[in-house]
Structure 1
């Protein structure tokens, strides 16, 4: 009779280990998002574009001859444009004045 509680505990432990292994398989089978970083450069400017799952996330422009770098807001709604001052600003230039 003393063997049955030990056997039940062992069976429970094996069941929990199997469930944990299956949970790891499920979470690891989710693919990572496709990230593409493109740099286009000529004699006047350098343009960096970041796409995640094919959607523009960030476009930055760095002029080579003077001028500050700026960001172009993507038109696909991937950025938070909820405030009144930035609503409808897609495609507009934005300068970051205070970045730490």
Structure 2
């Protein structure tokens, strides 16, 4: 009588090799979550860009004649908002391309 133990052993070795190959493959970091949000009413338009949950850009465009668009400065990464004097201040966009 012939034993069939080499077939299950071969399958086990193939499965182990597949798992090791998957572990050895370099993993790419996930793409950051980017969210663009626009809030608008009859007097103002606010555009916000968030990356990984942190506000990177906040642009305000008033719809009043003679008032130009401006940005609200976001805090620098790694600094507390209280320690960043320009955080939350208006930055006027005088030169645009």
TM-score (norm 1): 0.59
Partner of 1:88: 85
1:29-44 alignment, distance < 5 Å:
29-44=28-43
- The aligned runs of 1:1-100 (5 Å cut-off) are 26=26, 29-66=28-65, 67-75=67-75, 77-78=76-77, 88-100=85-97
* CA distance in structure 1 between the aligned counterparts of 2:95 and 2:45, rounded to whole angstroms: 22
Unmatched segments (≥5 aa) in structure 2: 1-21, 78-83
Contact 2:68-2:93 at 8 Å conserved across structures: no
Gaps of 5+ in 1: 1-21, 79-86
Count of aligned pairs: 68
In the TM superposition, structure 1's runs of 4+ consecutive aligned residues that sit over 2 Å from their partners are none
CA distance in 2, matches of 1:50, 1:58: 5
Shift of 1:26: 2.1
User: CA RMSD, aligned part only?
Assistant: 2.1
Larger Rg: 2
**Alpha-carbon distance in structure 2 between the residues aligned to 1:72 and 1:36:** 17
Deviations 1:14-52 (A, max 9, x none): xxxxxxxx8xx525x311100000000011100000000
